[in-house]
Amino acid sequence: MACTKSSDKSGFRQAAPPIAEKKEHVRTLHGDTVLDNYYWMYDFFGKGPDSTLVIEYLNAENAYVDSVMANTTALQNSLFEEMKGRIKDKDESVPTFRNGYYYYTRTEEGKQYHKYCRKKETLEAPEEILLDVDKMAEGYAYYAVGGVFISDDNKLMAYSVDEVSRRQYTIFIKNLETGEIYKETIPNTQGGAVWAADNKTIFYTSKNPVTLLGEKIKKHVLGTDPAADVTVYEEKDKTNYIGVGKTKDRKYIFVISQSTMSSETFYIESSQPNATFKSFQPRMEDVLYDIIPLEDRFLILTNMDAQNFRVMECPLDKTGVENWKEYIPHRADILIESVDGFKDFIVIEERKEGLIQLRIRHLTDGKEYYIDFGEPTYLAYTSGNPEYNTDVVRYNYTSMTTPYSIYDYNMNTQEKKLMKEQEIVGGYNKEEYKTERLYATAKDGTKVPISIVYKKTTARTAKTPLLLYGYGSYGNSMDATFSSGRLSLLDRGFIYALAHIRGGQEMGRQWYEDGKLQKKINTFTDFIACGEYLIAENYTGKGHLYAEGGSAGGLLMGAVVNMEPELWHGIIADVPFVDVINTMLDEDIPLTTNEFGEWGNPKEEEAYFYMKRYDPYENVEKKNYPNMLVTTGLHDSQVQYFEPAKWVAKLRDMKTDNNVLLLKTNMEFGHGGASGRFDYLHDVALAYTFLLTLEGISK
C-alpha cells in the first residue's frame, strides 16, 4: 500500500493541554511520606465533592485529544473503514454439537451484534434463534451477553447481560418452547449459570457490589424469588477468585476457589442439587490443582512437587491427596497447561520453548502422538469441545501470518478437517508477509523470545518504524496470533513485534515466577532488552521504536518510560494499571485483594518498598518523556479510570519535553472497550493514527 510521508508530528495541531487542579494529600506508611496532588480524582464513584471536577477534567482531556488530532480525522476514518472492510459482514460460526443440538452464532450485514442459534440433530433442521442481540441492544451504548447456558433437557436457557461495562451481569431465564422470558432475574452476578440435572436449579456466582469480587455461590430454583436464593458456598479468603462450572460429562458441578498460588475444588453430583458441596482436597499451600473427570477415575493436573505441573489420578470415591498417583510425570522443559477429557482419549495442551503442543493419548492402550503444525511461531488450542463421548477434538490454529482456522481432528484416524478459516474480505496473501522468532538477551543473561511479523517488501533499516507489544503478568502467555486490523500498520511499512517477557508463562512456570512479586522488575528490563535488541539488529532505530501494552501491560508501559524514556519515540498505554501502591492499599477497589499474590501487599514493608521502585505514578520525574497516548474507560472495573487520569496529570506537570501527551477516556465503556463488533475499531484507528502521524505517514 502506498503511503505519504511528511515531517515528524506534522499532523498534530498545537493546543493548550488541560492542567489538573492540585489538592494536597499525604500518605505516610512504613516511615515513608509521599505527596499525592491528584488523589482527589478517586472521588467520582464515591459521589463526593470532587465528582463534578473529575468529569470536567476527563471531558477537558477528551476535548484536548480532539483538538490535537483534528488534522488526522480523515486518516482515522480511512483506517476505520479499511479495517472494518476486512471483516466479513454476514458471517456464521462453525456449529458445535452438544446434547442433540448444533449451536452457532451468526451476524447480519451492517449489524453490530450476534444472533445465538441452534438446530436440532442435523444442520438441515429449521433454525431456532435463541437470542437476537441486535434487537436486545437497541438503545444501549454498551450491551454484552456474558454467556448462554442450556438446561440438560434442552427446554430452558439462562443467559447473562451487562448493560454498563463493569462486568456485573444480570441473569435471565427463557423458556425455549414458549419463548417466554421469566420475570425472575438474578442481578449482580459474574455472568455464568450452571444447570443441575433436574432442569430447574441454577448455580451462579454472586458479586460483592463494592469490590465486584465473586464472594458467594448461590442456588436459584425456578419460580422462587432470587432475593431468597440460598448461599451454598462463601469464600472467606479475599485473595481467592471463585466460580462454578459443570463437567463435560454433565455428571458433576464444581465450585473452584483459587488464588495465585493455591486452589481448592468442591463438588456435588449434578443429579443431587440439594447435596452439600464437599472438598475434593482441602487447599494446600503453594499447590494448584484442576480436576478432569473420566468414567472410571479423576485426573488431577497439579503443580504439587512439580513446577511445570504433572497429571495425577485417583478413584472416584477417594479424592484426597493421599490417594493421588502419578499418571503423567513432570518434565522440566515442558509446561502442562491443560488436559481435556473424552470417553476414550485425553488431549494434553503443553508448552515447549514458548510454543503450544497438542498431545493425544488413548486411554485404553496409552498410545500417544502430537499434532504437527509446521510453522516457527503460532498458537494452537482446543476449543468448542462440549461433548464427552466423541473421538473428534476441535482446535483453533493461528499465527502472525495465518488467519484463525478451526479444525476437527479425528483422534482415531489422525485425520484433520479444516472447518473454517477466517475470511479477510478484499483478499489477503500470507506469502506477502514474513514471521520470525528472535531472542534478545536480558540484563541477567536470560534469552527472551520475540515473535515478529512484517511485509516482505519492508526494508530493515534504522528508519523503519516498529511497534513492540508486551504484557508479562499473571502467567498469561502472549502468543503469536493473526490480526486483520494489524495489516493496516504492516501495509504502511511498520514492523510488529511481540515480546514474550517474564511474568508470562511462555517458557514454563519459572518464567512466571521470575516476573512477579519481588522479581517483577525482570518484566520491565526484559522488555527494554527486546527494544534494544531490535535496534541493534537493525529492525528499527531510535526515533522509530514504539511500544504498546494494556492493563497490566499498561503498567509495563509506565515502568519502561520511567526507566528508559529515550528509547521510545511513542507509547500507547491502554487502560493502564499505573497507580500500583495506592490501588493495592485500597481493599474496596475491585480485584485488589485477589492481586496480593501477584504484586504483593504494600501494607507489608518489604513489598511496599519493592513496589515503590517501579510504581509508574510514584516514579514520574522532571525529565523528557516520549510521545504518549493513554486510554481508559469511565466504567472500567479492572483498572479504575483514576489511575491513568492521575498519571497523565502528573506527567503533564513534571515532564520537560514538548512531546504529545493524550488521555482518551471512553465515557460509556469499561475495560474491554466497546461491545459492538465494529465500534472498537474506532479506538484502534485512533491508536494507529497516533503512530502513523508520529512517523509522518498521512494516508
Tell me which residues are annotated as active site: 551, 636, 671
How many Cα atoms sit within 13 Å of 601 on the Cβ side? 9
CA distance 193 to 171: 8
CA distance 575 to 545: 21
Q: Which residues contact 165 (CB under 8 A, 6 or more apart)?
A: 142, 144, 633, 635, 636, 637, 668, 669, 670, 671, 672, 675
| Cell numbers at 339, concatenated | 488436559
DSSP letters, 193-227, are: -EE-TTSSEEEEEEEPTTT--EEEEEEEETTS-GG
| Cell numbers at 55, concatenated | 468529569
DSSP code at position 559: H
The single-letter code of the amino acid at 94 is V
Helix 605-614 to helix 521-536 angle (10° resolution) is 20
The answer to whether 582 touches 36, Cβ cutoff 8 Å, is yes
Q: Which three-class secondary structure string do you get for 421-454? A: ECCECCCCCHHHEEEEEEEEECCCCCEEEEEEEE
The single-letter code of the amino acid at 232 is V
CA distance 93 to 104: 6
Q: Which residues contact 278 (CB under 8 A, 6 or more apart)?
A: 266, 267, 268
* End-to-end CA, the chain: 10
Q: Which residues contact 81 (CB under 8 A, 6 or more apart)?
A: none
Kindly give the pairing relationship between strand 570-574 and strand 627-633. Answer: parallel
Longest dimension (CA), the chain: 73
The answer to whether 270 touches 196, Cβ cutoff 8 Å, is yes
Q: Can you tell me which residue has the cell 502467567?
A: 475
Q: Can you tell me which residue has the cell 501491560?
A: 553
| Cell numbers at 118, concatenated | 441452534
Residue 102: enclosing H or E segment and its boundaries?
strand 101-107
Residue 419: enclosing H or E segment and its boundaries?
strand 415-421
Q: Which residues contact 627 (CB under 8 A, 6 or more apart)?
A: 9, 569, 570, 571, 659, 660, 661, 690, 694
Residue 687: enclosing H or E segment and its boundaries?
helix 680-694
| Cell numbers at 544, concatenated | 522509530
CA distance 488 to 478: 21
| Phi, psi of 548, deg, nearest 5 | -145, 145
The answer to whether 555 touches 567, Cβ cutoff 8 Å, is no
The answer to whether 143 touches 154, Cβ cutoff 8 Å, is no
The answer to whether 351 touches 335, Cβ cutoff 8 Å, is yes
Residue 348: enclosing H or E segment and its boundaries?
strand 345-352
49 class by beta-carbon count within 10 Å (0-12 exposed, 13-18 middle, 19+ buried): exposed
| Cell numbers at 83, concatenated | 479495517
